[in-house]
Structure 1
Amino acid sequence: MRDEVDLVVPVKTLDRAKTRLTSATGGDPVSHAALALALAMDTVSAALRTPGVRRVVTITSDPAVAAEMAALGVESIPEPAQPGLNEALVHGARTLRSIRIGALQADLPALRSDELQAALEAANARRAFVPDRQGTGTTLLLAAPGGELDPRFGVGSAGHHRDSGAIALLGPWPSLRCDVDTEEDLRLASMLGLGTHTANALPAWTT
């Protein structure tokens, strides 16, 4: 159906992911990798439950990530030879060849399916994006049906996506806008309600 979207979720190898969150796990590399994986799994799990999302695919070269995603019923596509987040998303979009494609960041551990669904509906078949809570980054980018994704992630991506013609979606979707890069972000996400995987990765977490 033309109103359904396939989402591409990029996930770095766990040894490179979320380096600014090391304080949340006391600097232990095993615990840190588990937390980084948990963030992605909660994000993907919420997306899978969202009406209007037909398919979720991760872009990753980490076998551990691919194995855990397979357990959720999610296919993983290896990262392309050319490095970079935008290159990975373009590669994923071309591989899927979907009528409508979207890019969802993998660090939304409080994501609620109803908020993601509301954003998809608000896009109304337009190329659109959801800025993060600071208003400078991007958590979700949607292509128009049959159109190019044209990702411009990186520093100031919200402005870059706006300048490229994408419509900014600014609804009441705190969980969709709460990406996690720092311990403070994680605390804010916990106030919204962490997903099961992230909550279990932080057994001693208090708010």
Structure 2
Amino acid sequence: NELALNPPGPFHHFHAPIVPLLLWAAAAGLGQGASSRSTTGSTSMPEPASVKWLPSASPLLAFSLTFGIWTCVVFSQNPLSLKFWDSGKPEYWGKRYVPDERPQQFAKIASLIPPTARVASTDFVHPRYTHFERSYDYSQYPRVVNGNRPGAPDDTDYIVIDTRHPYSWIHGPEDVRELRTEPDRWELLPDETNGYFIVLKRKTNVVEQK
């Protein structure tokens, strides 16, 4: 998701498996380009492959190395890149790798939901609940598990919403779909996180009626 927000990079993180193939293709291409330009020498004593193609491939190697360094400095997010040290960029090390207030606020609700619960949660807090009884993605995308509709499936016990993650469309209880369309089915738990997280619990009497 982070890569998708930084064009012209990969459109989605699912494209990551293609990266090794690109590296292999580049290496093979350098070898092919060098061999086509190399001259035939004496055959009395075979030379190592590197000796044969490295000199003739020097322009290709120089181009590849220059392009690789330029990409690393301008586009990547590692300590060798400009973005890593630019405090005005989202990739700045102080924003990306130093914990902010969000994990501190989440700690206040970490023990609120039992591991036996079925939880629907938004993207950035979702990994916290993948080991629970069931963990659902709470987003604007239709899901088969929810009858090809967005939102929480019918057997969901809790909904946890991170209001401060980079592309959250929910910033307060007034934005929560379930509180607008099904207020009789969901209870908004008291806010203990200064608005960083919204926690909804399905009303017990509604579950029993089902």
TM-score normalised by L of structure 1: 0.29
Highest Rg: 1 or 2? 2
The structure with more strand, counted as a fraction of residues: 1
